[in-house]
Every structure is written in structure tokens, then in C-alpha cells.
Chains A and B, each alone.
Chain A
Amino acid sequence: MQVMGIIFANDGAVGALTNQRTTAAIPFGGRYRQVDFHLSNMAAAGIRRVGIISRHNYQSLMYHIGSGEEWGMELEEGGLEFLTPFSMSTTDSYHGKLETLHSAMSFLTYGPEDEYVVMTGSSILCNIDLNDVVASHIASGRDITIVTKSGIANGKKQLDLALKLDEQGEIADIAVDYMAPEGYLATMDIFVLSKKYLQEKVQEFIARNLFHMDRDLVLGQWQKGQLSVNVYQFKGAVLYNESVEEYFRNSLALIDRNVRHDLFGYNHTVFTKVRDRVPTYYGEYCEVEDCIIADGCILEGEVENSVLFRNVTVCQGAEVENCVIMNDAVIGEGAELKYAILDKDVVVRPGAKLCGTPTTPIIIPRGEIV
């Protein structure tokens, strides 16, 4: 039984973080990009043919992934393939996942030995055993398996796709783009289908001007009684990075030991592009508490409850609190940062002060000098 993977790299917008990159390429957790989690999930399940569907802004993603060797996908046959959009009469504007799948049909068709397809978005992060999900799908004999996380629905967050189960564990309700109240399950944007079924549906739906995976294929077909659904409930940590606020909160959530261990090692290792840096140096007068710190930093100041990516310099007398600081930032002497996200290559001048709030952190775009 062979399985292929599809990753949707442009998964909505996450404020200024996606101005110049795809959601898949958003840096996360000190040394990763979000796509590392999805690629590593697939690699660990032995999936060796993965298509990355990316519509725009994919330069940094391509640079990051390269030949895919970090994930063992630099193969002569199969391996990783970037599926960038074709300009077709039907693709003037983007309509939905089914449409992008349609333009990637040749990739889907190629590799006749693949029987199943695992599809995932790129803004929801987890460390999941996809073999178990595929096994559950096959055992169920259903048309589609939808992976969900229980307990997140609380009416406070709009869910792309929410499910409600009855006492027998069968689906009682499906809702799309819904502020679901308690009792609904939030899906994780991971689906398993047989390749044959997916190919058929994509052809059929595009021919009828139906483009949406969630709305048309899942909800529409289920309502008509034409879709049998297997629900796979995942119990590990799941981080929904669908807005700046969530991204910020989830970045700092890594400081929690359980979340961190769940995400980085419960099932398998998370691989990423190697950027070989020296170990981080902690200076004579630094005070570092409750932090996630990548290699290559020089820390002389105070850093608390923050995530520091590679090669960040925090000068003496600087104070960094509740921040996410991406690669190569320099925080000058006496600068004060609170509730801020610094994109790559930012320079904070000595004495500068930046203060956001937990719900609206300040974002400093890439390369800025403040």
C-alpha cells in the first residue's frame, strides 16, 4: 500500500508574517518553518512522494526545502515536487483547494502505485503518526478520513470545518466557517482519501464549477448523503497558527514542557533545513529565563519568556520579554521589547522601546531598523 502527500502551502494570511512568504514558510519555534512539521509527519510515515501546492510568494519556501534531502525526499523517482499554479482559463482567481488539485492533476495521476493521498494545510502544527491515520482510514472503508482535535471548539474561534458526532461516533453535523460552540470537533486540515476517489471527485466537481474542499466536497456531499466520513481524533498537542495572535500565543506555548515535548518528540523527530551555527553563547551578565533558544545567538542582556531564532544578538542592558525574535536580529544596548514579533534581520537601536500587548503584538517587518 503506497501513500502520497499533498501540502497546501498558501493557507490564508497571517498578518504581516505572510506578506513575503507562504504560511508554509513562516518561521516557527526557533529553527523551523511551519512546513517542517508537515513534511516530517509525512517522512516519518514513509511517504516519499509529496507535492507542495504553492500559488504565490513561494521563493523562501523553495529555498528552505531545496531538494528535500533533510526529509529523505531527494529521490530519483518521486520525492518532492513543487506544484506552482498554471495559468488556465479557470484560474483567473483562486477558488479553492479542488481547483488547485485540478491544476496538479498530472502529479496526482503520475505514480500509479500510490493508492492513498494524505492532504494537509500548512498553518496547523502537530506531530502525528500518519500511518495510524491511513490504517484507520483503510479499516473504516469510508470515502474520506478527517483528522480532528477535540476540545477546541468553544464558540470563540471561527473553524474552517467543524464536526459534531452523535453517541455512536457518527457525524451528526458538519459546519463550515463556523463559530462552533462546545461539543463540536475542530478539524486539523488533514484528510485521507483514496487517490482514485480524489481524482474522480476533482474532475466531477470542477466540471460543475465547485471548487471548495470543505464546503463542496465534504459538507455538500455529506448533506446529500453521498459521502461516508471516518473521523480520526488526534490527542496530542495541536497548534492552530491561523492569525498573528494565535501564532504569537502558540510560539510562547512551546515554553510549556508538555507542548514542547509533544510537538518535537512524541512520535518522531521534526527535521528542518540545516543552518550550521555555533552553539549559543550566554554572557557573563545575561539573565535568560523561560526561553526557547536556537543556535548561534549571543546573549548578554535579559531575555524572558521568549523564543529566539538563530543568530540573535541581545546586547548588555537590553530587556526582551514575551517576544518572538527571528533570525539575525540585533537588539541594541538598553533596548526594551515587550510583546513583539521581530521578523528576520531586524535591528533594534540602543535604547529603543517597543511594547505591544498579548493580543496584539507589535510586528516589525523583515530587515527594518527601529
Chain B
Amino acid sequence: MYFQKKRCIAMLLAGGQGSRLKVLTEKTAKPAVPFGGKYRIIDFPLSNCVNSGIDTVGILTQYQPLELNEYIGNGQPWGLNKTHSCAQVLPPYERHDKKSGWYKGTANAIYQNIDFIERFDPDYVVILSGDHIYKMDYAAMVEYHEQNGASCTIAVRDVPLSEASRFGILNTNPDNSIYEFEEKPKKPKSTNASMGIYVFNWSVLREALISDEEDPNSSNDFGKNIIPNLLNAGHKMMAYNFDGYWKDVGTIDSLWEANMELLGKNPAFNIRGDERSKISARNNAFPSSYIDENAKTVNCFIAEGSEVYGIVRHSVISVGCTIGEGAVVEDSVVMPGVVIEPGAIVRHAILGENSKVCRNAVVGGAFGPKEKKQISVTSKGAVVEANTVLLPGEML
């Protein structure tokens, strides 16, 4: 087979469980978690790649890959199914020398797929994760990387000092070169948080991965091992500032918030945007949605294939949902295929795919503006029985 040389390819780490999403990732890998009515989290890095002119993406899967693999398919929704483009799913595999098996860490996952990368003989490799909602032009970052003659460039954003200890923090010189990397520091020296987006010269990364693999004490992780090792070895590493919308949707609260940030006349995250930064998704052939004469739809997203007979306020309703007559849905994220029966009330909730809220059931509650919102969650296919209550913050 003939492989075209690529200047730049992307490797997308999509194998994590995302355990902080609790019941939502019991049966689904985090990157396959639905978002924004018709998308899944992985649509964002994948679409960003395509919009940045990166047409070769290796997708490393491990945890509960069935749905994710199915979703990626041949990459057609993102235009990655052409003769010289691909969205290649890379699961762990067995090798004759036993240097294989489950991906031990983010760096090991890439290490085990050196052969895949070599086929394209790339100058640069972009490492991405399937955890964030954002639109970003990776091409500009690669350009910056090249112009600075760096070995590695890390995308950073400014975070509030109070939150900085949750991130990998990069301490930089005035020219934006990195002199120190601290993983989740107790006393952060700066507020430059790593976004987990890296551009590497492939030759440098390749060597770093091989020597990291030889170290039995390494946890084979980019943040903990590869980045500090390269810094110590004196490689030129740059920070690339990004100040657009970017949200880690790794927790129930942040996933809910990110969905809510799509709403409003001037939303915090304008997913609509222009064609060049369009987020694509695999589409199901649902008919147009139907809004009944007794329905009320206020400040909400409603995707195709939904039928609304009840009241929807400040919520995201995904494809193929039914909101029954007299039902009320407020401040909630309703994932694909959910049925909310007549008379049910849903507030501050995330309803997992194909779950069902039966007649007159109550899910979640209302909160004052200063109260902490406790989000109720239903897992995929869960049923909230008629006339029962799922309390605020409860999961089913």
C-alpha cells in the first residue's frame, strides 16, 4: 500500500473512561458522550483537525470502544474517508515481543502506535484528547511551532489562580519559551494551564517515547514524564496562548455548564459560527422536529427528530426525543432518544441516552441564584418510574 508523506498528522487520545462523568460513562467512552443536541465530544477535536487541514487522525481507543468505533466509522462525517485521508481507530493489540497490551498511559498509547505514525513519515505530530469542547485552528499552532524552531509546543490558557492547582502549569520566559512544568502544583507560580494539546517534532517525540518506555519507573504519561524529560534534556519548548472558548467537560457539573453555555442570544460558546470552523457530526436520518400547539419553547436548543408537546425552558433537547404534553423541562440536558412522558417535571438534570421519565415523575429541582446547583443524572436507558422522584444530585 502507498502512503503519502504528511507534514502533520494528529493522534487523538480517546481511550479514557472519564470516571468523573459517573453513570454517563458506565457503558460509553467519554469522547462518545453526547453534547449540544446532536454532537459527541469527539466531534470537536475531529472537526478542528479537518478545519485545520489535518486529514490523517489516529484515534486511540481502549475503554468501552464499541459505540465510539461505530460512531467514527470510516470518518465520512468529517470528510476523513478520502483516498489520502483517514480516521483510523487504534485499539491496543498483541505483539510477538510482548511489548504490547493495554495502553498503560497516554505516552505508552502513542508508543504502541509508532508504526502507524511512521507510515506517514510526518514532520509534526499533534497530540489531542477527547475531553474538551472548543474550536481551535491547530494549523496556526503548528505554524507557531515551526517558526519558533521548537521541539515541542504546548497550548496554554490563562486560568484563575484559585483553579490553577487542578492543571498542569507551565512557567515561561518572556519569549513564551517554557522553563518549568509543574503537574497540578500546590502553589502555582503562574496561571498558564496546559490544555493537553501538544505539537511535537516527530523525530523528537519518537525518541522520547522509546526512552520513556525503557524506564520501568515511568508512568508513561505525557504530563508526568514526556514533557518534563524533554525540558530536562534541554529541548526548546514553547507555550502557545489560546484565549477562545475551551471547556473541560470531564465532570457532571462542567458537562451541564458547557451545554448551558450554548444557549442565549449571545452564547458563551457560539457553536453555529462560520463554515470554516464548523463542527461536524454523524447524522441520523431523523425527520424535522415537531412543536405542538400546546408546546412552549423558550431559550433552548431542539434538534431534529424531536417532538415537543410540553414546556421546554433553557435546555438542550437532542435528536429523537419526545417531551409529552404538560411535561416541564428546565435547565436540563436531554440526550438523544429520551422520552419524557406527560406531566413529568425535569429540572437541573442530565438525562442519558434513551432514558425515560415516566408520567408525573419528578427529576431534580430548582436552585436559587447563589445556591450550588446539584445536577440529577439518569444513565443510558434508565427509567424513572411514574409518580416517583429522583432528587437533586441523585443518579439513576
Residues of A within 8 A of B (CB): 29-31, 69-70, 255, 257, 260, 264-265, 269-272, 274, 276, 278-284, 286, 288-295, 307-308
Asked whether A286 lies within 8 Å of B298 as measured between CB atoms, the reply is: yes
Knowing A290-B291, A293-B289, the reply to whether A276 touches B297 (Cβ < 8 A) is no
Cα of A107 to Cα of B98 in the assembled complex, Å: 56
Knowing A260-B287, A271-B285, A290-B291, the reply to whether A279 touches B302 (Cβ < 8 A) is yes
Enumerate chain A residues within 8 angstroms of B67, measured Cβ to Cβ: none
Complex partner residue of A284 from B265, B287, B301, B317, CB under 8 angstroms: B265
Asked whether B303 lies within 8 Å of A295 as measured between CB atoms, the reply is: yes
Asked whether B37 lies within 8 Å of A279 as measured between CB atoms, the reply is: yes
Residues of B within 8 A of A (CB): 36-38, 76-77, 263, 265, 271-272, 278-281, 283, 285, 287-295, 297-304, 312, 316-319
Complex partner residue of B287 from A69, A264, A282, CB under 8 angstroms: A264
Nearest A residue (CB) for B296: A287
Asked whether A294 lies within 8 Å of B299 as measured between CB atoms, the reply is: no
Cα of A335 to Cα of B87 in the assembled complex, Å: 46
Query: Other than the known A274-B77, A282-B312, what 4 A-B pairs have Cβ atoms closer than 8 Å?
Result: A264-B287, A278-B271, A280-B303, A281-B301
Cα of A290 to Cα of B37 in the assembled complex, Å: 21
Cα of A282 to Cα of B318 in the assembled complex, Å: 13
A-B contacts, 23 of them at CB < 8 A, read A29-B288, A30-B287, A31-B287, A31-B288, A260-B290, A265-B287, A270-B285, A271-B285, A278-B279, A279-B38, A279-B304, A279-B316, A279-B318, A280-B302, A281-B263, A286-B297, A291-B291, A292-B288, A292-B290, A293-B288, A293-B289, A293-B290, A307-B288
Question: Which of A255, A257, A272, A279 counts the most chain B CB atoms within 10 A?
Answer: A279
Asked whether A279 lies within 8 Å of B36 as measured between CB atoms, the reply is: yes
Tell me, rounded to whole Å, the shortest Cβ–Cβ distance linking A184 to chain B. 32
Knowing A279-B301, A279-B304, A282-B297, the reply to whether A294 touches B288 (Cβ < 8 A) is yes
Cα of A269 to Cα of B286 in the assembled complex, Å: 8
Enumerate chain B residues within 8 angstroms of A276, measured Cβ to Cβ: 77, 278, 280-281, 283
Tell me, rounded to whole Å, the shortest Cβ–Cβ distance linking B339 to chain A. 15
Asked whether A282 lies within 8 Å of B281 as measured between CB atoms, the reply is: no
Question: Which of B280, B287, B295, B300 counts the most chain A CB atoms within 10 A?
Answer: B287
Nearest A residue (CB) for B301: A279
Cα of A29 to Cα of B300 in the assembled complex, Å: 22
Enumerate chain B residues within 8 angstroms of A283, measured Cβ to Cβ: 265, 298-299
Asked whether B283 lies within 8 Å of A30 as measured between CB atoms, the reply is: no
Asked whether A279 lies within 8 Å of B290 as measured between CB atoms, the reply is: no
Complex partner residue of B299 from A284, A288, A293, CB under 8 angstroms: A284
Enumerate chain A residues within 8 angstroms of B304, measured Cβ to Cβ: 31, 279, 294-295
Complex partner residue of B300 from A31, A260, A282, A295, CB under 8 angstroms: A282
Cα of A351 to Cα of B318 in the assembled complex, Å: 34
Cα of A282 to Cα of B295 in the assembled complex, Å: 12
Asked whether B298 lies within 8 Å of A284 as measured between CB atoms, the reply is: yes
Cα of A83 to Cα of B61 in the assembled complex, Å: 45
Complex partner residue of A255 from B76, B283, B290, B303, CB under 8 angstroms: B290
Tell me, rounded to whole Å, the shortest Cβ–Cβ distance linking A41 to chain B. 14
Asked whether A289 lies within 8 Å of B293 as measured between CB atoms, the reply is: yes
Asked whether B291 lies within 8 Å of A288 as measured between CB atoms, the reply is: yes
Nearest A residue (CB) for B309: A257
Question: Which of B36, B278, B289 counts the most chain A CB atoms within 10 A?
Answer: B289
Interface of B is mostly: loop
Knowing A279-B302, A280-B301, the reply to whether A29 touches B287 (Cβ < 8 A) is yes
Tell me, rounded to whole Å, the shortest Cβ–Cβ distance linking A338 to chain B. 17
A-B pairs, top 3 by smallest CB distance, nearest first, are A30-B288, A279-B37, A279-B303
Cα of A289 to Cα of B298 in the assembled complex, Å: 12
Asked whether A269 lies within 8 Å of B285 as measured between CB atoms, the reply is: yes
Tell me, rounded to whole Å, the shortest Cβ–Cβ distance linking A234 to chain B. 20
Enumerate chain A residues within 8 angstroms of B290, measured Cβ to Cβ: 255, 257, 260, 291-293
Tell me, rounded to whole Å, the shortest Cβ–Cβ distance linking A273 to chain B. 10
Asked whether B295 lies within 8 Å of A289 as measured between CB atoms, the reply is: yes
Enumerate chain A residues within 8 angstroms of B281, measured Cβ to Cβ: 276
Cα of A280 to Cα of B303 in the assembled complex, Å: 6
Asked whether B272 lies within 8 Å of A278 as measured between CB atoms, the reply is: yes
Enumerate chain A residues within 8 angstroms of B280, measured Cβ to Cβ: 276
Nearest B residue (CB) for A304: B293
Asked whether B285 lies within 8 Å of A288 as measured between CB atoms, the reply is: no
Tell me, rounded to whole Å, the shortest Cβ–Cβ distance linking B124 to chain A. 28
Cα of A139 to Cα of B295 in the assembled complex, Å: 48
Nearest A residue (CB) for B292: A290
Asked whether B285 lies within 8 Å of A293 as measured between CB atoms, the reply is: no
Asked whether B291 lies within 8 Å of A293 as measured between CB atoms, the reply is: yes
Tell me, rounded to whole Å, the shortest Cβ–Cβ distance linking B320 to chain A. 11
Enumerate chain B residues within 8 angstroms of A69, measured Cβ to Cβ: 76
Enumerate chain A residues within 8 angstroms of B292, measured Cβ to Cβ: 289-290
Asked whether B299 lies within 8 Å of A295 as measured between CB atoms, the reply is: no
Knowing A288-B297, A290-B293, A295-B38, the reply to whether A282 touches B288 (Cβ < 8 A) is no
Asked whether B289 lies within 8 Å of A292 as measured between CB atoms, the reply is: yes
Enumerate chain A residues within 8 angstroms of B279, measured Cβ to Cβ: 278
Cα of A305 to Cα of B283 in the assembled complex, Å: 26
Nearest B residue (CB) for A296: B272
Enumerate chain B residues within 8 angstroms of A307, measured Cβ to Cβ: 288
Enumerate chain B residues within 8 angstroms of A274, measured Cβ to Cβ: 77, 283
Cα of A30 to Cα of B290 in the assembled complex, Å: 10
Asked whether B283 lies within 8 Å of A280 as measured between CB atoms, the reply is: no
Enumerate chain B residues within 8 angstroms of A282, measured Cβ to Cβ: 297-302, 312
Enumerate chain B residues within 8 angstroms of A308, measured Cβ to Cβ: 288
Tell me, rounded to whole Å, the shortest Cβ–Cβ distance linking A287 to chain B. 8
Cα of A289 to Cα of B294 in the assembled complex, Å: 7
Cα of A290 to Cα of B298 in the assembled complex, Å: 15
Nearest A residue (CB) for B308: A288
Nearest B residue (CB) for A288: B291
Cα of A20 to Cα of B215 in the assembled complex, Å: 69
Cα of A30 to Cα of B302 in the assembled complex, Å: 14
Nearest B residue (CB) for A310: B288
Cα of A342 to Cα of B300 in the assembled complex, Å: 25
Cα of A257 to Cα of B316 in the assembled complex, Å: 23
Tell me, rounded to whole Å, the shortest Cβ–Cβ distance linking B178 to chain A. 37
Cα of A31 to Cα of B288 in the assembled complex, Å: 7
Tell me, rounded to whole Å, the shortest Cβ–Cβ distance linking B303 to chain A. 4
Enumerate chain B residues within 8 angstroms of A279, measured Cβ to Cβ: 36-38, 301-304, 316-319
Question: Which of A257, A272, A280, A294 counts the most chain B CB atoms within 10 A?
Answer: A280
Nearest A residue (CB) for B314: A284
Question: Which of B36, B294, B303 counts the most chain A CB atoms within 10 A?
Answer: B303
Question: Which of A70, A255, A288 counts the most chain B CB atoms within 10 A?
Answer: A288
Enumerate chain B residues within 8 angstroms of A272, measured Cβ to Cβ: 285
Cα of A270 to Cα of B312 in the assembled complex, Å: 27
Cα of A93 to Cα of B77 in the assembled complex, Å: 43
Nearest B residue (CB) for A263: B287
Question: Which of B36, B288, B292, B312 counts the most chain A CB atoms within 10 A?
Answer: B288
Cα of A29 to Cα of B287 in the assembled complex, Å: 8
